[in-house]
Amino acid sequence: MQGKMIWQKKNCGACHQIYGLGGFLGPDLTNIYSAVGKGPMYIKAFVTAGTPVMPSFHLQEQEMTELLQYLRHVDASGKSDPKQFRVNYDGTIAN
Ligand code: HEC
């Protein structure tokens, strides 16, 4: 998967978590793709422009598309916040 390589090459994980794993300077991005008021254009804006505490990245259109595909895939496959999990009486996690 190309998008994951971009995530690693650009070191997004130094400051951001996926599934709760990664650096803690920035927020967890596991569910950013489907978050209300966020999503692909929002992600693109942050990556392209940066903020006072996040560097900007100059990705090619193709790289950006792949990075967004990776984040969409991650979003569809898990939840970021274990505190929101419902735990069954036997200790397993409910969906
Ligand atoms: C040096 C640390 C650092 C790196 C590296 C970094 N970020 Fe960030 N990022 C941040 C911080 C800190 C914020 C919070 C923004 C703020 O408060 O200004 C942020 C915010 C964001 C947001 C908005 C999150 C939200 O919930 O509003 C997105 C999306 C994002 N980063 C994506 C990325 C991606 C993709 C990469 C890799 C290409 C990346 N970041 C690399 C530090 C970083």
**20 φ/ψ sector (left φ>0, alpha ψ -120 to 50, else beta):** left
Q: Is the dihedral of CA 23, 76, 63, 41 positive or negative?
A: negative
Ligand 1: distance of its center to the CA of 11 in Å?
A: 11
Q: Is the CB of 32 under 6 A from ligand 1?
A: yes
| Structural domain span for residue 90 | 2-94
For residue 1, pLDDT over 80 is answered with no
Question: Nearest residue CA, atom 11 of ligand 1?
Answer: 26
Alpha-carbon distance of 58 to 5, in angstroms, equals: 15
**Mean pLDDT, the chain, integer:** 92
Q: What is the pLDDT of residues 47-59, one digit of tens each?
A: 999 999 999 999 9
Ligand 1: distance of its center to the CA of 94 in Å?
A: 30
Stretch (H or E) spanning 94? strand 93-94
Alpha-carbon distance of 86 to 57, in angstroms, equals: 37
The whole-model pTM stands at 0.89
- Residue 33 is part of a domain; what is its CATH number? 1.10.760.10
User: How many domains are contained in the chain?
Assistant: 1
